[in-house]
Chains A and B, each alone.
Chain A
């Protein structure tokens, strides 16, 4: 079983739409959770960390459910510039601080 599983999409949404991405992780020892963004042919960059209480950064809201081993990302009022691949990432510090990546969910925001 993969460490991190995501729906690959693609998600094609109109500008202004709200879109949600989901992710599950298999190892309950995972301690830290993140969403990274990767533009075409570029390196991944941290979008936001995900906390148990849920957290928001502008139009982006991340949620974590440790009991279900489930992570989500909600994007409100989508912009053309949000078009990218979104990577779900988990971290287990006690295994050499290894990070485990999902395969990514592709988002295209359409004018």
Chain B
């Protein structure tokens, strides 16, 4: 049972390069999220999706784009990477029901922008 899988796990980019992080979940969850985690800042929501074909901005969406063409996949794109986007990125998914709290996280993707 894979749960939430993120690829790639590690990546080094040069400023201005583009890349896509892929998140795949096999739990049939409606909701998916992309977070970034930086020292002293906690996890901050970048974008999220409440279902196939829908996306919404979170707390720190600038410089990122997302797509949810299939229910099981949520892609995070960086069109022109900047050093400020050096971070650990976590994808998560959850059921849509009220009062249920478990977010299932992927193992994280460590991105360094030089």
Contacts and interface: CB of A to CB of B under 8 A. Distances in A.
B42 A102 contact: yes
Residues of A in contact with B, size category: 20 to 34
A93 B56 CA distance: 14
A87 interface: yes
Taking chain A's interface residues, is the majority helix, strand, or loop, or is none over half, making it mixed? Answer: strand
Interface string B83-114: 00000001000101011111101111000000
Interface string B38-63: 00111111001010000010100000
A12 interface: no
A110 interface: no
Contact of B33 (A36, A49, A99, A104): A99
A96 B56 CA distance: 9
B50 A96 contact: yes
A17 interface: no
Interface-centre pick from A34, A43, A87, A89 (highest chain B CB count, 10 A): A43
B99 A101 contact: no
A1 interface: no
Contacts of A98: 45, 48, 58
B42 A103 contact: yes
A91 interface: yes
A12 B73 CA distance: 40
B45 to A, nearest CB: 6
A1 B90 CA distance: 24
B87 to A, nearest CB: 13
Interface of B: 31, 33, 35, 40-45, 48, 50, 56, 58, 90, 94, 96, 98-103, 105-108
Interface of A: 4, 8, 31-34, 36, 41-46, 49, 87, 89, 91, 93, 96-104
28 contacts: A4-B42, A32-B99, A32-B100, A33-B101, A42-B107, A43-B107, A44-B43, A46-B101, A46-B102, A46-B103, A49-B101, A87-B43, A89-B103, A93-B98, A96-B48, A96-B56, A97-B50, A97-B94, A97-B96, A98-B45, A98-B48, A99-B33, A100-B45, A101-B35, A101-B43, A101-B44, A102-B42, A104-B42
